[in-house]
């Protein structure tokens, strides 16, 4: 079975490696164009590109797939199927229907919930108990195609989006191989999605970062871990930004004001709107390096009761 792979970020690396390791003939890889990264705007290739080039697979980075441009490339590569994992562009109809077996997608959610760009992060932000990956036959809609297989996993109480992202990337790779074998053996049973149960996982942005300490501790906790590693939850201390990484639910009772720091020998916690606390794992003060939260607050000699804004 000849395969064309389409993917861009880290989440797509494991599935591509799985294809290579399992001996599939990957005739080409589509990924997004290189982009400037960091303050120095260094032109950087997507993670998938590095894997493909290391394996000697031709890489294609078209700015658009419209007007038959994508199909022209497919004609050269002659795939039986196209595998899509977090590619980042909508595929036009002529592209979707060109391969013998069409295009299949590995999506980081339990469809039809969390269709869209940020399903993993939104699961954590919303305090979901379960997440998963779904393989589906792609159609012209946004993550609306018939489902092929679904794998679920329980989300850890303190698991960050980044940690869940890494686990689901491995699960997605395994699910891809399972799906391809089933297609080869004619053992797939597509199931239509129930659109009435669909939810949308919009992209994250930096406007979400500021913590509202008047919220219940569970909401604050989910926000901190849901925005880790990007765009990162933050608060204000002494007029400067303080980024927060990882957390856990702390004391059950307190009576402190929302945003009030509670320091003990072993932890740094903050009171929330319901009188409960959230214990923060690591912080990064504006202009400083990231470090353990307790070390930071000991080093800056902050007192119990200091208010975060």
pLDDT tens digits, 156-165: 999 999 999 9
Q: Is pLDDT of 105 > 70?
A: yes
Give, in order, the Cα–Cα distances in Å from 222 to each of 53, 110, 153, 227: 38, 19, 18, 8
Q: Which two tokens stand for residue 287?
A: 């202009």
One-character DSSP codes across 117-165? S-HHHHHHHTT-SEEEEEEEE--SSSS-SPEEEEEEEEPPTT--HHHHH
Q: Is pLDDT of 223 > 80?
A: yes
pLDDT tens digit sequence for 1-16 = 999 999 999 999 999 9
Rounded average pLDDT over 75-104: 95
**Per-residue pLDDT, 294:** 83
Instruction: Write b or e for each residue in 93-104: b if 16 or more Cβ atoms lie within 10 A of its Cβ, otherwise e.
Output: eebbebbebbbb
Fold observed for domain 206-299: 3.10.25
Q: Is pLDDT of 62 > 90?
A: yes
Q: Is pLDDT of 253 > 70?
A: no
How far is residue 209's CA from residue 204's CA, in Å, rounded to a whole number?
9
**Per-residue pLDDT, 56:** 97
**Per-residue pLDDT, 262:** 86
Rounded average pLDDT over 129-134: 98
Numbered ranges of CATH 3.10.25.10 in the chain: 206-299
Give the torsion sign (CA, 53, 230, 145, 150).
positive
Numbered ranges of CATH 3.40.50.170 in the chain: 2-201
Instruction: Indicate the average pLDDT of the chain.
Output: 94
How far is residue 43's CA from residue 30's CA, in Å, rounded to a whole number?
18
Place of tokens 């980081």: 108
**Per-residue pLDDT, 252:** 62
How far is residue 243's CA from residue 69's CA, in Å, rounded to a whole number?
43
Q: What is the arrangement of strands in the sheet containing 147-154, beginning at the earlier edge strand?
A: 59-60, 25-30, 2-7, 81-85, 103-107, 130-137, 147-154
What percent of the chain is predicted at pLDDT more than 70? 99
**Per-residue pLDDT, 232:** 97
CATH of domain 2-201: 3.40.50.170
**Per-residue pLDDT, 301:** 75
**Per-residue pLDDT, 303:** 74
CB atoms within 10 A of CB 57: 20
pTM for this model (two decimals):
0.93
């Amino acid at each position: 079975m000849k395969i064309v792979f389409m993917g861009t970020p880290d989440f797509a690396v494991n599935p591509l490696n799985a294809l290579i390791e399992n001996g599939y003939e990957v005739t080409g890889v589509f990924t997004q164009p290189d982009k400037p990264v960091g303050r120095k705007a260094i032109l950087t290739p997507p993670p998938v590109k590095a894997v493909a080039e290391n394996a000697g697979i031709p890489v294609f980075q078209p700015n658009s797939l419209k007007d038959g441009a994508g199909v022209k490339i497919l004609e050269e590569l002659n795939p039986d199927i196209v595998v899509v994992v977090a590619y980042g562009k909508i595929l036009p109809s002529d592209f979707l229907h060109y391969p013998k077996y069409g295009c299949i997608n590995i999506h980081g959610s339990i469809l039809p919930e969390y269709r869209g760009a940020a399903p993993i992060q939104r699961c954590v932000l919303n305090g979901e108990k379960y997440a998963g990956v779904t393989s589906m036959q792609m159609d012209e809609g946004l993550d609306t195609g018939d489902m092929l297989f679904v794998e679920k996993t329980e989300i850890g109480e303190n698991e960050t989006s980044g940690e869940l992202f890494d686990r689901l990337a491995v699960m997605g790779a395994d699910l891809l191989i399972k799906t391809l074998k089933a297609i080869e053996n004619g053992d797939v049973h597509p199931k239509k999605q129930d659109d009435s149960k669909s939810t949308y996982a919009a992209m994250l942005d930096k406007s979400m970062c500021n913590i509202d300490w008047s919220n219940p501790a569970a909401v604050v906790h989910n926000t901190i871990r849901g925005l880790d590693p990007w765009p990162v939850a933050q608060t204000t201390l002494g007029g400067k930004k303080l980024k927060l990484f990882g957390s856990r639910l702390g004391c059950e009772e307190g009576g402190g004001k929302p945003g009030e720091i509670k320091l003990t020998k072993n932890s740094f916690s903050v009171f929330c709107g319901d009188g409960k606390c959230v214990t923060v794992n690591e912080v990064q003060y504006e202009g400083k390096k990231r470090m353990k939260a307790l070390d930071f607050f000991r080093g800056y000699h902050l007192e119990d009761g200091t208010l975060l804004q």
